[in-house]
Structure 1
Amino acid sequence: MKPKIVTVILAAGASSRFNGAKIVAKVQGELSLLEHCLQTLDRVTTAVGIAPAVVMLGAHQTDEVLAIIADHHRLINDNWQLGLSSSVKLAGRYAQSQQADAMLIVLADQVALQETEYLQLIEAYIRNNLTTCAFYLQNVGVPAIFLAEDINVLMSIDGDKGAKSILKQHDKNNSLNVVQMEQAQFDIDTPADLARWLDNKD
Structure 2
Amino acid sequence: MTTERAGHVPFPIVLLGAGGSTRMGGADKLLELVDGLPLLRRQADMALSVAGAGVFVALTPAPHPRHDALVGCDAVRVEVPDASEGMNASLRRAFAALPADAPAAMLLLGDQPDIRARDLVRLATAVNAGGDTRIWRAATETGAPGHPIVFHAELFEEIMQLKGDEGAKSLVKSNAHRVELIQIPGDRARRDLDTPEAWAAWRAENPDR
Give the TM-score band, short-chain normalised.
Answer: 0.7 to 0.9
- 1:102-136 CA distances to partner (integer Å, 9 max, x unpaired)? 11111110111111111110000147653211124
**How far did 1:156 drift?**
3.0
Question: For 1:4 and 1:32, how far apart are their aligned partners in 2?
Answer: 26
| Residue type at the aligned position of 2:117 | E
1:35 to 36, 41, 48: 41
Indicate conservation of the 8 Å contact 1:14/1:60, yes or no: no
| Residue type at the aligned position of 1:85 | N
Residue 134 (structure 1) aligns with = 138
RMSD: 2.4
Residue 68 (structure 2) aligns with = 67
Residue 110 (structure 2) aligns with = 108
TM-score, normalization: structure 2?
0.82
Q: What does residue range 145-164 of structure 1 map to in structure 2 within 5 Å?
A: 145-164=150-169
- Kindly, what percent of the aligned residue pairs are identical? 25
Residue 91 (structure 1) aligns with = 94
Residue 3 (structure 2) aligns with = none
Question: For 1:196 and 1:98, how far apart are their aligned partners in 2?
Answer: 42
Structure 1 unmatched runs, 5+: none
**How far did 1:188 drift?**
1.2
TM-score, normalization: structure 1?
0.84
2:81 to 78, 83, 87: 78
Structure 2 unmatched runs, 5+: 1-7
Question: For 2:203 and 2:63, how far apart are their aligned partners in 1?
Answer: 25
Indicate conservation of the 8 Å contact 1:44/1:115, yes or no: yes
Residue 26 (structure 1) aligns with = 33
Indicate conservation of the 8 Å contact 2:58/2:78, yes or no: yes
**Helix, strand or coil at the partner of 2:188:** helix
**How far did 1:27 drift?**
2.5
